[in-house]
Every structure is written in C-alpha cells, then in structure tokens.
Structure 1
Amino acid sequence: MIQGLYEAHLPVKDLKVSIPFYEKLGLKLAWREGSTVFFWIEEGKSWLGLWEGREVETPYHPSLRHIAFRVAYEDMKHALEWMASIGVEPSAFGGRPTFEPFVRPNQGNASVYFNDPDGNSLELMCYVEVPESLKSITDKLSLAEWEQLLKQA
C-alpha cells in the first residue's frame, strides 16, 4: 500500500530567504501561492511545503521541525565538501564532538545534519549495508571508523 513519502512541511519566517536556500540545496520550485511554496524533492514523487508564518516560532523539536533527505552513500562521503561549496554549515547531533557524517550500524544508515535559515533541522541520510556481524553496534561511527571496521569484518 504505502510506497514512499509524498510530502512534508516546515514553517519559515521569510520566503524571500527560504526560497534561495532550498534552491541552492538543489530542490526545484514546484509552485507558490501566497505564503506557501512547494519544492520537488523527487520531481513527480515527493515534495516539501514551506509555510511562512508565526508557526516558525514553535520551539524546535524533531517531531515538528525536521526533514531527512535521502542521498547515496557515495554522496554522503562528500557531503561536507558539497555543503561548504553552497555555503551551508553542518550542525552537531546528539552530543557528537564533530559535525562530520556518521553511521548507525544498528539502524543501517548514515547521516549528517544542518539547519535551514529558520533553525529547522535538515539531514542528509543514506542506507548503509551492514554485515550481520556488525548489526548489534549501537555506537555512532564516523565514516572513516565505519569503513575501517568493514575492512576488518
């Protein structure tokens, strides 16, 4: 029945600031009406709605103001360089001492986080193939640590 995510929504303060930000992430503007815009995440498959208004004053919580964009593992390896090239700074996650991408072996994914101009949490995330012998690891590992562990597995 369910085949994927069709849409997600975030509150923003000023579309004049938000539209260029999301365009530099590579999202394509689908349509705009008044204080609302929609960007294609995957054209014809999924989109992101941005709503200008006071809702942006809602305190941050990941259940309310967070989106994860799916990327390929190979792209994750270059995420920091890509972010720097478009003027986006990574942000910390879960008390990690660095901003670099990390792998969650027990979940089979890797992530790196950053914020939009309104403090909404954005994430680049990819699937990671995890050998059975490593699936019980609950630590968050840097990509370098992960790849070294894979060589030893």
Structure 2
Amino acid sequence: MIAGLYEAHLPVGDLERAIRFYEALGLELAHRTDGRAFFWIEKGKSWLGLWVAEQVNVPYHVSIRHVAFRIELENMEKAKTWLRGRNVEIVDFYDFKPHQQPLVPPLFPQAHAAVYFEDPDGNLLELMAPIELDVSDYFDTMELNEWYRQRGHKRNPPN
C-alpha cells in the first residue's frame, strides 16, 4: 500500500532566504503562496513544504525539524564538494567533525552513509545513501572509510 514518502514540512523564519537556499540545492519550486512554499524533491512523487512559523524557534531535535534526502551511494563521495559549491557548510554531528563525514550511524536495521548540514533556519538536513540492508551486528557511528575498511570493501576516500 505505502509506496514512499510524499511530503515533509519544515518551519522557516525568512521565506525568501529559504527559497534561495533550497533552489541552490537544485530543488524545483512547485508552488508558493503567502507564508509557504513547496519544492519538488522528485517531481510528482515527493515534496518539501516550508512554512513561515514561530516553530522555527523550537530547538532542534531529531523528531522535528529534520529531513534526509536520499542520494545514490556513488554520489556520497562527491556530496561535500557539491554542498561546498552551493556555499553550504557541513555541520558537526554525532561528535564527528565535517572533515570526518560521511558517517555511518547505527540506525538499524539498515546501514547508510550520511553527510549533515543545516538550512539557514537551523533545520537539520542530510544527504543519505543506503549501504547495506538487514545489518544485525551492532556498531558505533564511524566514518564511511572505516565502514569500508572493517567490511573489506575497496573504495576511494570521500572528499
């Protein structure tokens, strides 16, 4: 029945600034009205709603103000360069510095690589790529290169 995620929503303080930021990420503005804008993530399949709202002042917690964009694993190695080209800074996350990312956090049952950044309103965003499904052994958050080393994969180091 459920085929995927259709929409996610985030609060923003300055809609014009938010629109510029998400357009710089390559998202297409689908619709805009007073106090809100919608961007296609995948046209006709999923979108992101931005709402001018006082909730933008609520401190970040993983349960709110967070969106992860799926990318292909082969693009993960270019993710930081791609973000830097859009003047977007990688943020510390899981006690790892930007130069240590992409990371592989223990979010079972799937292992994935991720790079973390914020929009201008402090909403946490991530570029995420699945690595392995049905991971059963526990592991601590680690750098993607360490994941490959521990599992015997040969990969070029991420940027």
TM-score normalized with structure 2 length: 0.86
Gaps of at least 5 residues in structure 2 are 155-159
Residue 124 in structure 1 maps to residue 132 in structure 2: no
Q: How many residues align?
A: 151
Offset at 1:148? 2.2
Matched residue SS, 1:39: strand
Give ranges in structure 1 of 5+ residues lacking alignment: none
Q: CA deviation at 1:129?
A: 2.6
Deviation at 1:152, TM superposition (A): 6.5
Instruction: State whether structure 2 residue 25 is matched by structure 1 residue 25.
Output: yes
> How far apart, in 1, do the equivalents of 2:145 and 2:6 lie?
33
Match of 2:149 in 1: 148
- What letter is aligned with 2:57? E
Task: Give the aligned residue type for 2:126.
Answer: E
CA deviation digits over 1:45-89, x for unaligned, max 9? 000000012221122112110000000101111111111111100
Cα distance in structure 1, aligned partners of 2:115 and 2:91? 8
Larger deviation, residues 117-126 vs 142-151:
142-151
Matched residues in 2 for 1:13 and 1:19: separation?
A: 11
Equivalent position amino acid for 1:8 in 2: A
Cα deviation code 1:77-132 (max 9, x no counterpart): 111111111110001112224451112465321111000000000011111036x8
**Counterpart of 1:75?**
75
Asked if 1 retains the 8 angstrom alpha-carbon contact of 2:68 and 2:126, the reply is: yes
Q: Verify the 8 A CA contact 1:104 1:140 in the aligned structure 2.
A: yes
How far apart, CA to CA, are the structure 2 residues paired with 1:126 and 1:55?
29
Query: CA RMSD for the aligned pairs?
Result: 2.0
Alpha-carbon contact 1:65-1:121 (below 8 Å) kept: yes
Counterpart of 2:139 in structure 1 is: 138
State the identity %. Answer: 50
